[in-house]
Structure 1
C-alpha cells in the first residue's frame, strides 16, 4: 500500500555482481536493537523469513515468464495461462510481457544486490517512527532546529510548517475560482530522517492504528525511502504464517494461501519501482479480473487503461508469484508429478502438465 503520493524520484544504480544474496541489514537500515520508534528487534527472525520468501516469489514469477517463452517446456501451456489470467500478457503481447518481466526483474535485482537504490531504504515495524504534528506547529530544519524567518521589519521569528514554501503543494491547493484552501494532509516528522512527510490525519489515529486492514506502507517523499510494516501484518490470522504452510484443495481461493510475508513482497514493488509508478488499483483477485474484462478502458482522470494499471498493481504480482510457486511444487501431487496444483483461475485446481 502507498502511504502517500510521491513527489521525489530515486534511481537504481548497478553494482558488481555478488556471490551471495545480501543480508536484510545490507538491503535496509533496520533498528534491530529496539522495538521502539519503528524498531524491529522482536521481528528480525520473521523479517529474515519474509525476505527469503520474497526472493522465492520473485524467482517464481520470472520462472513463469521463462516457461511461457519456451514451447518445449512441459509447463509451457500452464505458464501462458497464468500470464494471460493475471496480466493479459503472453509472448504474443510483447509490450505487456515486457512490463511484467521488467517489474519482476527490477525487484529481483534489488533483492540480489545487483542494483541498489540511491540511498539505503529504511525498514520499520510500526509507524511509531513518525510524530504527527499540526499544520501551524513551528517548522524544523534538517538539523532538527527551529526554522526562523525575518519579517518586513527584519525581526526574526519562527515560521509555521504550513507557511514554508517547500510544503505549500502538500498543505494547500488552489480551487478553480482561485481561492486557496487547506488540503486534508497533516505533517508527520521523522526524528530519524529529520524530514517531514505529509499524509491524512486518519481521524486522530495513525495509518497503522486506524485499521487492522492496514498492513504496510511505502513512501518516497523522503530520502531515503521507507517501508513501514504495521504490527497487524505480523499477526494477521487471515494469512498463512509462511509460504506453503497451507495445503491446496480444489476451489480454494488464491487469497487463502497468501503468506503473511506477501506484505513485504507487495511493498518491495512500491519501493523499487517508485510509488508513483505502482498505484494500488486493487487488493482483490475478483476486482482484478473485473478490471481485466475491460482492459482497454481508460478510467476517468487517468491516462492508462485498466490492463496497464493491473500490470502496475503490486498485489497482482503477489497473486501471480504465489500461485505459480504452488504450481511448481510437487509436494501435493498425490504421487503423480504430472499433476500440479494451479491457481491461474483464482481458485485451486489440479491440472495435468
Structure 2
C-alpha cells in the first residue's frame, strides 16, 4: 500500500494493510536468476551461493535511490528544488507550496509517488502484515519472473513448424492435427504486427517453454549498445476442445552483457557517478549501470500500454517509450499524463536527479548537486548547476 502524501484536514485514513520491507533482500527473491555464463546465464554477475556480485550491488543502490526519491517528494512544500524537478520530469505545474485546495496538483504528485513506492516495494521485497496475507510478499515469485543476462537463450523457429506446449510437446487440436506456430491465435496476430518478426523459442536452453515474437530475438543483445528489455513469454496448452490457449505468462527481464561491460561509459555506481560530477555535467553521463534494471522494473510491476492512448491506469509505455533525456523533458511539457508519467526513463532520471541532490554519505554519495536544463537546440543538456554539499 502506498503512503498517502499531503493528508487533507479532517480525512482519517485507516491503514488496514501494513507493509514492511525485508532487510537483506537478495536478488533471487525477486527473480529466478538464470544460471551459467552463456545462454543468458548471470553467474558472472551474481553468485548464487554467497548472494553477492554486481547485480546484488545494483539491488542495494536501487533501494537507496528509490527511498531518497520518495522521501524527496514528501518535502514538496519545503523544497523548491523538488517542485521544479517534478515539473521537469512529469509536467506537474509548480505553483509554489500546496494548500488544502490544490487537490488536482496533490493528486498528480501522489500518482508519481505511488508508482515509485510500488517499485520500491518490489525491490525491497515488501511483505504484508496485519491482514489475511500476513507474511506473504507483495510481489511473490511464483516461478514466473526470470532474469537473464543475455538474449542468446532464444532460438528462432520457422513459423510453419509445429507449435510446442508448456511441456515442449507438439500442440495438437481436438482432431489430433498438429498446430503450426503461425496458426495459433494470438501468435498469428503478433507475427502480423511486424512483417519482420520471427518466432523465438525459449525452451531449448531454459525451463520456460514458450515463444517470444520479435525481429531481433536471440540477437537483441548483439545489436550494438543494447542494454535490456522486458518481455512476456506465453506457455501454451490445449483446452478441452483441443484449441491452444495460454497456460501461463512468464516475465523475462534481459540485461545485456554490454550493460556490465568495461567499455560501457556509464559509471559502475552512483558513488562513482557522484565523484564525476562537475559544473555542467549532463545527467545521462552519470546515470549508473544499475539504471537499466530499475527501468525494466517499471515494466515488471506495472505491465505495458501499447500506445499512449490506452486507458490502462497502471500500464507503462513499451514500444513507443523514449529514452533521450531531452525527449523526456519535452514530453513532460507537451504530454505529461499519457506520455511522461507512463515512461520508465522519466522516473529513472527523476530518481537519479533526487539521489544526487539528497543522497547522504551513508548512501555512498559524497557530494550533492542539483541539475537544470542548459543550452539550446542540439546543444541542450540537463546539466549540473548547483553544488549543495
Match of 1:343 in 2: 371
Q: Could you tell me which of 61, 64, 71 is aligned with 2:69?
A: 61
3-state SS of 1:135 partner: coil
Gaps of 5+ in 1: 1-13, 174-181, 296-305, 332-336
Q: 1:344 to 1:119 in 2, by over 3 A?
A: farther
Q: Could you tell me which of 281, 292, 299 is aligned with 1:252?
A: 281
Paired residue total? 303
* Counterpart contact for 2:68–2:359, Cα < 8 Å: no
| Residue 208, structure 1, aligned to residue 229, structure 2 | no
Map 1:152-167 onto structure 2 (within 5 A): 156-167=176-187
Q: Could you tell me which of 168, 174, 177 is aligned with 1:144?
A: 168
Match of 1:299 in 2: none
Deviations 1:305-329 (A, max 9, x none): x443111111111111111111114
Please state how far the C-alpha of 1:84 moved relative to its aligned partner. 1.4
Please state how far the C-alpha of 1:171 moved relative to its aligned partner. 2.5
Q: 1:160 to 1:19 in 2, by over 3 A?
A: closer
Gaps of 5+ in 2: 1-16, 47-52, 127-137, 235-248, 306-314, 374-381
Q: Normalising by the residue count of structure 2, what TM-score does the alignment of the two structures yield? A: 0.71
Please state how far the C-alpha of 1:238 moved relative to its aligned partner. 2.4
Q: Could you tell me which of 258, 271, 274 is aligned with 1:232?
A: 258
Please state how far the C-alpha of 1:266 moved relative to its aligned partner. 0.7
Map 1:5-154 onto structure 2 (within 5 A): 17-32=20-35, 34-44=36-46, 45-69=53-77, 71=78, 76-89=79-92, 92=102, 93-114=105-126, 115-117=138-140, 119-120=142-143, 121-149=145-173
Map 1:328-339 onto structure 2 (within 5 A): 328-329=358-359
Q: 1:308 to 1:200 in 2, by over 3 A?
A: same
Please state how far the C-alpha of 1:172 moved relative to its aligned partner. 3.5
Q: 1:25 to 1:118 in 2, by over 3 A?
A: closer
Please state how far the C-alpha of 1:148 moved relative to its aligned partner. 3.0
1:96, 1:289 → 2: CA distance? Answer: 17
Match of 2:309 in 1: none
Q: 1:272 to 1:237 in 2, by over 3 A?
A: same
Q: 1:318 to 1:227 in 2, by over 3 A?
A: same
Please state how far the C-alpha of 1:15 moved relative to its aligned partner. 9.3
3-state SS of 1:107 partner: helix
Deviations 1:200-228 (A, max 9, x none): 247xx62111x223200001344221110
| Residue 320, structure 1, aligned to residue 350, structure 2 | yes
3-state SS of 2:182 partner: helix
* Counterpart contact for 2:170–2:178, Cα < 8 Å: yes
Q: Normalising by the residue count of structure 1, what TM-score does the alignment of the two structures yield? A: 0.78
1:340, 1:290 → 2: CA distance? Answer: 25
Name the Cα RMSD after superposition. 2.6
